[in-house]
Structures are given as C-alpha cells and as structure tokens.
C-alpha cells in the first residue's frame, strides 16, 4: 500500500482515539479499517465494569466495515495515546486472522510507521 494511504489510515485511527472510553485502564486505543470499497471505518476501545465485555478498537473498526458490506479489509491501523507502538492483543490477532486475513496492519511509533501481516503476528494460528 502507498505510504500516503498508510499515513491517512494512521491519522484516522488517531481521530478515533478521542471517542474512546477507557474508564478503567485509562489506555486509549484508536483504529481504522480500510474496506475493499476504499471507505475507511474508525473504531476505539470501550470499557465496561464487566471487564470481559470491553471492546477493542480494531475489532470495532473491522466489524463496522464488514457489517456495512465490505468484502475484505485491505488494511488496519492501530494507535494508542502513548508514543509506543500499539500492536493488537492476542484476542484481536485471532479476530484479524479470521475476519481480515489479507489486511496490512499498521502502527506508528518512535521509528515511524511499521507494517505487519497477521501471519507474522500470529504464526501457526488456530483454525478448526
């Protein structure tokens, strides 16, 4: 994917940060998913007193895209409000493996934008 498109996706993910509700962890995460139509969908994390119910940013962005009829997710960007790289948690890796397997995964940090595939982040993934 073009560098400008990756940057656009990172910026969209940053925009999503401000709507996150990390009321327990205080850790804001924003995400943006690029659908095969070219449309970008944002997501952010929402926490709940029943902590297992908390929703990760990238899951929300991907679900928004797929539930609006996108066939594929071409790329996902994930950022937090810290300066460090924000990589998907284990649960989100399994989720991306299932629902966005061809997506380029971008995150931003001190050394600039980094790109991963889900096969790098979740080698030997579970599949039934």
**Residues designated as active site:** 58
Q: Which of 89, 113, 121, 125 contacts ligand THU by CB under 6 A?
A: 89
Paired tokens of 40: 């970008």
Q: Which of 56, 76, 100, 103 contacts ligand THU by CB under 6 A?
A: 56
Choice between 20 and 40, CB closer to ligand THU: 20
Question: Contact at 8 Å (CB) between 9 and 103?
Answer: no
H helices present in 20-114, as ranges? 57-67, 90-99
Choice between 6 and 96, CB closer to ligand THU: 96
CB of 84 to ligand THU, least distance (A): 12
Q: Given the rule CB under 6 A, which of 33-41, 56-64, 98-106, 118-126 is the region that contacts ligand THU? A: 56-64
Decide: is 54 part of the binding site for ligand THU (CB under 6 A).
Answer: yes
105's torsion region: left (phi>0), alpha (psi -120 to 50) or beta? beta
Q: Which of 10, 29, 62, 96 contacts ligand THU by CB under 6 A?
A: 29
Neighbouring-strand partners of residue 114: 107
Question: Contact at 8 Å (CB) between 66 and 109?
Answer: no
């Amino acid at each position: 994917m073009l560098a400008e498109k990756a940057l656009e996706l990172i910026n969209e993910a940053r925009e999503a940060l401000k709507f996150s509700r990390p009321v327990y962890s205080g850790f804001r995460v924003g995400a943006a998913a690029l659908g095969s139509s070219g449309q970008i969908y944002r997501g952010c994390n929402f926490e709940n007193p029943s902590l297992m119910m908390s929703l990760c940013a990238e899951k929300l962005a991907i679900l928004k895209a797929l539930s609006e009829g996108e066939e594929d997710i071409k790329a996902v960007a994930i950022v937090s409000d810290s300066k460090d790289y924000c990589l998907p948690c284990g649960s989100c890796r399994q989720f991306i493996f299932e629902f966005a397997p061809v997506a380029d995964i971008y995150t931003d940090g001190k050394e600039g934008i980094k790109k991963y595939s889900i096969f790098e982040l979740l080698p030997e993934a579970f599949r039934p």
